[in-house]
């Protein structure tokens, strides 16, 4: 471990960013947290011991002071338009500041042929970083367990329905908390992983029948998986307020999911951190009140995702 190692976590008020900040601080790193908005979420990071800086991926002049003097950085742009623009700005800033390691949050289904604009953009963003010559590690997480808390998923879940057009597709869903532990480890010591692409998943590959069964056991009530027709699903997403880019992404990603783009499981989180990532049931059990609606509480960041 390098003494006084300093790291930048972007997307720091988001799901993986918050976890990466917390876990990096726990490893003794000096953490600068790049936030988009100076709000209560940002204050919570400062309270934990991070240096909070406000900046915008789309304005490189705000990135430069954020990245100045850090050894490694986590790049995490949300599912919104502008990923390629943001990536180029981040890469240019990394060049200017001599960044020694850039951990890039990509996605399992990054693919230039995808019908999801976000999946296409993440593919191109990976290529840009590759030909930038920067010392990069791409992370390709599979489906986040935080999906269960997203505002277009949670209301139906509380009615006992896991309403996702995943067909017979499989994944090994992964919690942001576990990703945060892996990100922090890579920020601490990226050397052996530079130039690689690391898939990140939960411990077990499951289809959505098994997903619903695990939820039923953990929540103590029956949850059934329902596969809506894609048109009906897209209309629902728009109706509940997912912006157009988010709708296009989710629908495209669900098509990819049906075709196996999210399949497989790996043990990379355990290899990196020494601890197995949590299962669906382990994620759901402590959040049972929230997920069943028996409490009106919401977990921090539960409204993050898909282009709000």
The binding site for ligand NAP (CB under 6 A) comprises: 11, 13-17, 36-37, 55-58, 76-79, 105, 107-108, 118, 122, 141, 143-144, 147, 176, 301, 304-305
With b for 16 or more beta-carbon neighbours within 10 A and e for fewer, the 111-148 pattern comes to beebebbbbbbbbebbebbeebebbbbbbbbbbbbbbb
Give me the phi and psi of 59, to 5 degrees please: -130, 95
Dihedral over Cα of 54, 56, 57, 60: its sign? negative
Residue whose entry in the numeric block shows the structure tokens 């950085």: 73
Nearest to ligand NAP by Cβ — which residue?
14
CB 10 within 8 A of CB 104: no
The answer to whether 291 and 157 have CB atoms below 8 angstroms apart is yes
Work out how close the CB of 21 gets to ligand NAP at its nearest, in angstroms, rounded to a whole number.
Answer: 11
Q: Which is nearer to ligand NAP, 223 or 245 (CB)?
A: 245
CB closer to ligand NAP, 2 vs 112:
112
Q: How far is the CB of 39 from ligand NAP (least distance, A)?
A: 7
Which residue number, 175 or 213, has a Cβ lying nearer to ligand NAP? 175
90/218 with CB nearer ligand NAP: 90
Task: Give least dist CB 178 to ligand NAP, A.
Answer: 12
Nearer to ligand NAP, 101 or 175 (CB): 175
């Amino acid at each position: 471990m390098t003494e006084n190692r300093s790291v930048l976590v972007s997307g720091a008020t988001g799901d993986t960013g918050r976890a990466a900040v917390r876990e990096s601080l726990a490893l003794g790193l000096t953490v600068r947290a790049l936030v988009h908005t100076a709000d209560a979420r940002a204050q919570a990071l400062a309270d934990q011991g991070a240096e909070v800086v406000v900046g915008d991926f789309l304005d490189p002049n705000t990135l430069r002071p954020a990245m100045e003097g850090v050894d490694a950085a986590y790049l995490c742009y949300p599912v919104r338009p502008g990923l390629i623009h943001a990536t180029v700005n981040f890469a240019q800033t990394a060049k200017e500041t001599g960044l020694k390691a850039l951990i890039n949050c990509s996605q399992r289904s990054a693919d230039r042929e995808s019908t999801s604009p976000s999946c296409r953009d993440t593919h191109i963003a990976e290529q840009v970083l590759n030909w930038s010559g920067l010392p990069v590690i791409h992370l390709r997480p599979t489906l986040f367990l935080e999906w269960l808390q997203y505002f277009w998923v949670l209301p139906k879940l509380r009615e006992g329905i896991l309403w996702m057009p995943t067909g017979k597709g499989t994944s090994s869903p992964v919690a942001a908390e576990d990703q945060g532990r892996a990100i922090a480890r890579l920020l601490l010591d990226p050397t052996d992983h530079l130039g690689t692409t690391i898939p990140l998943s939960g411990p077990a590959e499951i289809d959505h029948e098994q997903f619903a069964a695990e939820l039923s056991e953990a929540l103590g009530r029956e949850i059934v998986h329902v596969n809506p027709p894609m048109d009906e699903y897209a209309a629902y997403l728009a109706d509940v307020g997912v912006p157009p880019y988010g709708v296009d992404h989710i629908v495209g990603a669900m098509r990819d999911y049906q075709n196996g783009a999210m399949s497989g499981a790996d043990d990379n989180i355990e290899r990196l951190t020494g601890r197995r990532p949590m299962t669906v049931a382990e994620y759901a059990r402590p959040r049972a009140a929230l997920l069943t609606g028996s409490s009106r509480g919401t977990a921090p960041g539960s409204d993050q995702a898909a282009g709000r």
